[in-house]
């Protein structure tokens, strides 16, 4: 089955700095890669996703890049703010072929210091 590795497990940055979270996956059939943000006491919420026919996607201060050859995708947050502090999860999923189960990484706790 799919295996998703996520690094780092904890990331501490100063407000205004950039933050990068990296994930690797094992199943070459995976073609959908969402990122979720989980704030304290809440359920995860989708913040951005990317499909395998795209190498990069941006939404204001966040961007995701995908390298299918290396089976590697990353979340980039620029100009971090204290409200970006949360746990971030990456996930990988193969469409079709009976696979409906996304595999999540173990999460990255991002701390943004004012």
Partner 1 sequence: EAQVTQNPRYLITVTGKKLTVTCSQNMNHEYMSWYRQDPGLGLRQIYYSMNVEVTDKGDVPEGYKVSRKEKRNFPLILESPSPNQTSLYFCASSLARGDYEQYFGPGTRLTVT
- Which stretches of the chain bind partner 1, using CB under 8 A? 1, 6, 9, 32, 34, 36, 41-46, 49, 51, 89, 93, 95, 100-102, 104-107
Rounded least distance, CB 15 to partner 1, Å? 27
- Cα 14 to chain centroid distance, Å, stands at 20
Q: Choose between 27 and 49: whose C-beta lies nearer to partner 1.
A: 49
Q: How far apart, in whole angstroms, are the C-alpha atoms of residue 27 and residue 94?
A: 8
In the chain, what are the helix, strand and coil shares in percent, each to the nearest 5? 5, 55, 45
- Write down the residue that tokens 């995860």 correspond to: 44
Give the DSSP letter of residue 27.
-
Q: Choose between 4 and 112: whose C-beta lies nearer to partner 1.
A: 4
Rounded least distance, CB 80 to partner 1, Å? 22
Rounded least distance, CB 84 to partner 1, Å? 19
Q: How far apart, in whole angstroms, are the C-alpha atoms of residue 68 and residue 40?
A: 32
Rounded least distance, CB 14 to partner 1, Å? 26
Q: Choose between 18 and 95: whose C-beta lies nearer to partner 1.
A: 95
Q: How many helices (H) and strands (E) does the chain have?
A: 0, 11
Q: Choose between 61 and 106: whose C-beta lies nearer to partner 1.
A: 106
């Amino acid at each position: 089955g799919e295996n998703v590795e996520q690094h780092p497990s904890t990331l501490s940055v100063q407000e205004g700095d950039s933050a990068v979270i990296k994930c690797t996956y094992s199943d070459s059939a995976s073609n959908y890669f969402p990122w979720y943000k989980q704030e304290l006491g809440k359920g995860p919420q989708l913040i951005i996703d990317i499909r395998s026919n795209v190498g990069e996607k941006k939404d204001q201060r966040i961007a995701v890049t995908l390298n299918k050859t290396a089976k590697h995708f990353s979340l980039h947050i620029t100009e971090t703010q204290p409200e970006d502090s949360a746990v971030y999860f990456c996930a990988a999923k193969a469409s079709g072929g009976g696979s409906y189960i996304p595999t999540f990484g173990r999460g990255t706790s991002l701390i943004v210091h004012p």
